[in-house]
Amino acid sequence: MPLTLEGPTLSLRPPEPGDAEALFALASDAEVTRWFSWGPYTAVEQAAAYIERCAGQRERGDQLDLLVVHREHGPAGITGLSEFSARDGRAMVGTWFGRAFWGTGANRESKAILMHLAFAVLGLHRLGSYSNPVNERSTRALLGVGFTHEGVLRDWHRHGDTWLDVNVFGLLREDWAASPLAQIPVRVTGEPPAAVPRG
Ligand SMILES: CC(C)(COP(=O)(O)OP(=O)(O)OC[C@H]1O[C@@H](n2cnc3c(N)ncnc32)[C@H](O)[C@@H]1OP(=O)(O)O)[C@@H](O)C(=O)NCCC(=O)NCCS
């Protein structure tokens, strides 16, 4: 059974081929993909190719991207874990939502669900995240869900010919345990793929 994590209003599960139209609609908005090395989508095939890539990354344990589905409004965006280190028990989290979901609390609940996955299910010790220093909304959103700003990594990402600095953030297992996000109920069915590192 594929992994599904359910919170009060959102569920997270691996994206499937039938989600391509919905992902295309959400990420064909240039505001949504403004800070990314990809997008905006201009054809549904780009979303379909992404979904196919996700399946391989999941099975290899390289990356675990999950579709965020709102109980009433349907697919909302993507959140996931990447850059796993099994030895150190850590991973990075990245998230994007369609614009209609910004400022709705979806980001907070999705982060609570992903933290439950990282710490309670996978047993990791640390979650990290990045933001572009110019992307104040993303930076504020990460601080708002309990991440600590730990510094700036110079020329960390390459987008085309441009090198970009990033803010780096961290949240330790003990930070999560003491945070109100750990109190948000999450129901887990299915298992993460066997290759996904555990802490
Ligand atoms: C980043 C993202 C996931 C955050 O979700 P969200 O629902 O927009 O976030 P929230 O509304 O919970 O929090 C945003 C914070 O930024 C603040 N904010 C909103 N617009 C802002 C702006 N233009 N400048 C500075 N701060 C801003 C909000 O007031 C809020 O801060 P507060 O909680 O201290 O009031 C979402 O905006 C998104 O998908 N953006 C596009 C993709 C992206 O940039 N992903 C992150 C890559 S690192």
pLDDT value at position 54? 98
- Using a 6 Å cutoff on CB, does residue 169 contact ligand 1? no
Q: Whose CA is nearest to atom 21 of ligand 1?
A: 137
- Model pTM score: 0.97
pLDDT value at position 90? 98
E-assigned strand segments in the chain: 4-6, 10-13, 64-70, 74-85, 90-97, 126-131, 148-159, 162-172, 187-189
Ligand 1 atom at minimal distance to the Cα of residue 135: 44
Tens of pLDDT, residue by residue over 24-46, are 999 999 999 999 999 999 999 99
Tens of pLDDT, residue by residue over 119-136, are 999 999 999 999 999 999
- Using a 6 Å cutoff on CB, does residue 156 contact ligand 1? no
Q: Which residues of 162-180 are buried (b: 16+ CB within 10 A; e: fewer)?
A: eebebbbbbbebebbeebe
pLDDT value at position 199? 87
Is residue 196 very low, low, confident or very high in pLDDT (cuts 50, 70, 90)?
very high
Query: In the CATH scheme, what is the homologous superfamily, with its name and number, of domain 4-189?
Result: Gcn5-related N-acetyltransferase (GNAT) (3.40.630.30)
Ligand 1 atom at minimal distance to the Cα of residue 136: 25
How many C-beta neighbours within 10 Å does residue 149 have?
Answer: 13
User: Is 76's pLDDT higher than 90?
Assistant: yes
Query: In the chain, what are the domain boundaries?
Result: 4-189
Name the residue of 41, 140, 157 to mutate for ligand 1: max ligand atoms within 8 A of Cβ: 140
